[in-house]
Amino acid sequence: MSEVVFKGFGDKALPFLKALDFHQNREWFLENKDLFEAHLYEPLGDLVEDLLVRFERAGLPFRGDRKKSQFRIKRDTRFAKDKSPYNRHLSALLSPDGNKWAESGCFYVCIGLEEYRGCYAAVAWWQQKPELLLAMRKAIVEKPEKYRAMVKALAKNGLEIKDNDCLKRTPRGFEAVTDPDLIEALRNRNFVVRFPIDPASITSPKLADDLLDFAVRAKPLIDWGRAIEGTLVV
């Protein structure tokens, strides 16, 4: 793997997204595609390649490709209420097998307008298959000391698990659990830690350093999930 050094997003990256949000048409996008590629698309590809090398050296299980790991800026509007043809953000996902459609154990980075998704990174067990989510819930109840140790390690690293899509009630089969922290954990559909990115920092090469630091600090969550995943019969 060639070592590409991330030099920062272009200074017109967010202004481009702002203008795209206003225009939202193919003609305008094609007229400004060179700007998109120079200030957003290619820099995100550089960031992905830079992070891949750093993650491998740090022993983090995130793989990908500068092109294949990026999500398209063009939206699939077939089932959406908002029929705007373009996203107001550009993002990429790295996963253990390099698949950007991975459902869990992934690293995600997003550069977007604050009024929509904003700029942030996340490490997550996201939309797991039912059998893995069930195994995680059983592990929380049967081995609470390991779950709590993971949460404590994250807290020591300045991170906290949050799921904006959690259940309102404890899932069936776990109603007997009474510990508040375990109840909260059982209601999670996803296990996510986030790192907010200051929009003013995206033009700096230091962003790659900050994202590596975040991913390393989030490693207890990945290790906890992988240990549970390894107990499942394939």
Write down the pTM of the prediction: 0.94
Helices 219-229, 206-217: axis angle to 10 degrees equals 50
DSSP string, 77-146: -TT-S---SB-SEEEEEEBTTS-TT--SSEEEEEEE-TTTT-SEEEEEE-S--HHHHHHHHHHHHH-HHH
Work out how many domains the chain is built from and give that number.
Answer: 1
H or E segment to which residue 191 belongs: strand 191-196
Q: Which residues contact 102 (CB under 8 A, 6 or more apart)?
A: 93, 95, 96
Q: What is the CA radius of gyration of the chain?
A: 19
Determine the structural domain holding residue 26 and report its residue range.
13-229
Residue 234 confidence class, pLDDT cut points 50, 70, 90:
low
Q: Of 12, 18, 74, 17, give the one whose Cα is nearest residue 39.
A: 12
* Residues of the chain above pLDDT 70, percent: 98
Q: What is d(CA 196, CA 207) in angstroms, rounded to the nearest whole number?
A: 11
Kindly state whether residue 6 falls inside one of the protein's structural domains: no
Kindly state whether residue 1 falls inside one of the protein's structural domains: no
Q: What is d(CA 136, CA 144) in angstroms, rounded to the nearest whole number?
A: 11
Kindly state whether residue 5 falls inside one of the protein's structural domains: no
Mean pLDDT (whole number) for 135-141 = 98
Kindly state whether residue 7 falls inside one of the protein's structural domains: no
Q: Of 223, 68, 69, 67, give the one whose Cα is nearest residue 147.
A: 223
Kindly state whether residue 165 falls inside one of the protein's structural domains: yes
Contact 197, 121 (CB under 8 A): yes
Q: What is d(CA 135, CA 146) in angstroms, rounded to the nearest whole number?
A: 14
Kindly state whether residue 18 falls inside one of the protein's structural domains: yes
Strand 106-112 and strand 191-196: the pairing is unpaired
Largest pairwise CA distance in the chain: 60
Q: Per-residue pLDDT tens for 104-121? A: 799 999 999 999 889 999
Q: What angle do CA 199, 158, 122 make, to 5 degrees?
A: 50
Kindly state whether residue 20 falls inside one of the protein's structural domains: yes
Q: Of 191, 98, 76, give the one whose Cα is nearest residue 139.
A: 191
Q: Per-residue pLDDT tens for 148-203? A: 999 999 999 999 999 999 999 999 999 999 999 999 999 999 999 999 999 999 99
Considering the chain, what is the average pLDDT of its residues? Answer: 95
Question: Which pLDDT does position 2 carry in this prediction?
Answer: 56
Kindly state whether residue 38 falls inside one of the protein's structural domains: yes
DSSP string, 14-55: HHHHHHHHHH-SHHHHHHTHHHHIIIIIHHHHHHHHHHHHHH
